[in-house]
Amino acid sequence: MKIHEYQAKEILKKYAVPVQDGIAIKSMNEFDSAIQQLQARGINQFVVKSQIHAGGRGKGKIYNPANRDELILEGGVKFTTDVQKAKDYASKMLGNLLVTHQTGAEGKIVQTLFITEGLDYKKELYLGILLDRAASKNVIMASTEGGVEIEKVAEETPEKIIKEWVDPAIGFQGFQARKLAFGLGLEGNAFKNFVNFILKLYKAYEDTDASLLEINPLVITNDDRILALDAKMNFDDNALFRHKDIADYRDLNEEAPLEIEASKYNLNYIKLDGNVGCMVNGAGLAMATMDIIKLAGGEPANFLDVGGGANKETVANGFKIILSDPNVKAILINIFGGIVRCDRVAQGVIDAVKEIEVNVPVVVRLDGTNAIEAKEMLENSGLNFSVASTLKEAAEKVTNVLAKV
């Protein structure tokens, strides 16, 4: 689960992590109050920040959602010392469409703004914490190239990324924090403040079951304070039952409608840009299915994992989700019968198709327990299924069907 910058900073404040001060607003009626509160704290420089679940906001463009050819504002993050100008920026951002390189052409409607303090600083750094699955350890990444996307740094100047892995048996140690500070070339108070910062940041990451915590940029102010100028946090969905306060941060406006609908049925669904709908059990098999569709010349329209217990209900709900995408021209069902028998899956597919209007070709490949019986059931159902024995055959059949559509 992703959250907004202002929400991430609320969490970090609870762990005494120094962050840029600010107030979130959802309507222009709240703007004046937010400015007055910031001014009461001695703040006279302001940054108006659009809040969407995508990066590149500062370089994005604000458009009129009713007329996407009408450019309203260059940039979704604006600095000013003038209150009236800040208000003008806010009015142009709120309720309008922000398009960045991460949102794609469809963009995102800005429904929340973060009105923050403008800070004077002398250096931008990068700091990120995430799970390195290959090493089975959390890794902390730091770089002197703050304000730049870490992917770009990794591609162009990988030597500028410092990495420190944390042994889960002993946790993050002070010497590792100091090693990172030395690697960033910090000295004096900046060195001490960074060590204190990263130790608190790591505790916030670990305590909240985060899967990503990225501070970009992390700034060194003119008086050597270390502050999070931006903050991005993602969380392990499987651990949210332990963090109801964090689960409440979920913003459905930032999620794809079909993905929200799929989550109601405990289906793991991610929409893609292709035309072959995929219904598979198991994440690994789903990935392999998408790969082989590509190899056969097709384009997967989605990732859909119906889980280990595929039955009539899950299959029917899977059909509903897949067919809600108008780009889908054919469906490939690829189920391995391990936890669940293939004949039960086949009956579930037959029952679901009888109840739901499936108006595109369907290719079914079932393998595992009772696969032979399942194939006979599908072929004798009187329904318009194309049955395959292997994954390669299934992918070829679905791409051949598409060629005729």
Q: What is the pTM assigned to this prediction?
A: 0.81
> How many angstroms separate the CA atoms of 388 and 379, rounded?
11
**Residue 255 amino acid letter:** E
Binding residues for substrate, as ranges, are 281, 338-340
Q: Which token pair is 85?
A: 């100008």
Lowest mean pLDDT among 67-81, 212-226, 302-316, 334-348: 302-316
Give the model's pLDDT for residue 226. Answer: 97
Give the model's pLDDT for residue 311. Answer: 65
Give the model's pLDDT for residue 215. Answer: 97
Q: H-helix or E-strand containing 98?
A: strand 97-99
Is 393 one of the annotated active-site residues of the chain? no
> How many angstroms separate the CA atoms of 53 and 8, rounded?
12
Binding residues, as ranges, are 49, 56-58, 119, 124, 216, 230, 281, 338-340
* pLDDT tens-digit map of 137-155: 999 999 999 887 888 888 8
Binding residues for Mg(2+), as ranges, are 216, 230
Is 126 one of the annotated active-site residues of the chain? yes
Give the model's pLDDT for residue 313. Answer: 78
Give the model's pLDDT for residue 217. Answer: 94
Q: Which of 126, 202, 205, 269 is catalytic?
A: 126
Binding residues for ATP, as ranges, are 49, 56-58, 119, 124
Q: Which residue would you say has higher pLDDT here, 85 or 254?
A: 85
Judged against a pLDDT cut of 80, whether residue 339 lies above it is answered with no
Q: Which of 145, 214, 249, 396 is catalytic?
A: 214
Rg of the chain over Cα atoms, rounded to whole angstroms, equals 25
Structural domains in the chain, sorted by start: 21-117 (3.30.1490.20), 121-247 (3.30.470.20), 257-404 (3.40.50.261)
Closest CA to 285 of 136, 137, 394: 394
pLDDT interval class at 157 (50, 70, 90): confident
> How many angstroms separate the CA atoms of 142 and 105, rounded?
31
Closest CA to 52 of 295, 254, 341: 254
Angstrom CA distances, 116 to 23, 38, 44, 304, stand at 6, 8, 10, 40
pLDDT, mean over the chain: 91
Judged against a pLDDT cut of 90, whether residue 248 lies above it is answered with yes
* pLDDT tens-digit map of 254-304: 887 888 888 887 788 998 989 999 989 888 889 999 999 999 999 999 998
Lowest mean pLDDT among 111-115, 197-201, 278-282: 278-282
Give the model's pLDDT for residue 370. Answer: 87
**Residue 300 amino acid letter:** P
**Which residue intervals of 300-380 are DSSP H helices?**
312-323, 342-355, 371-379
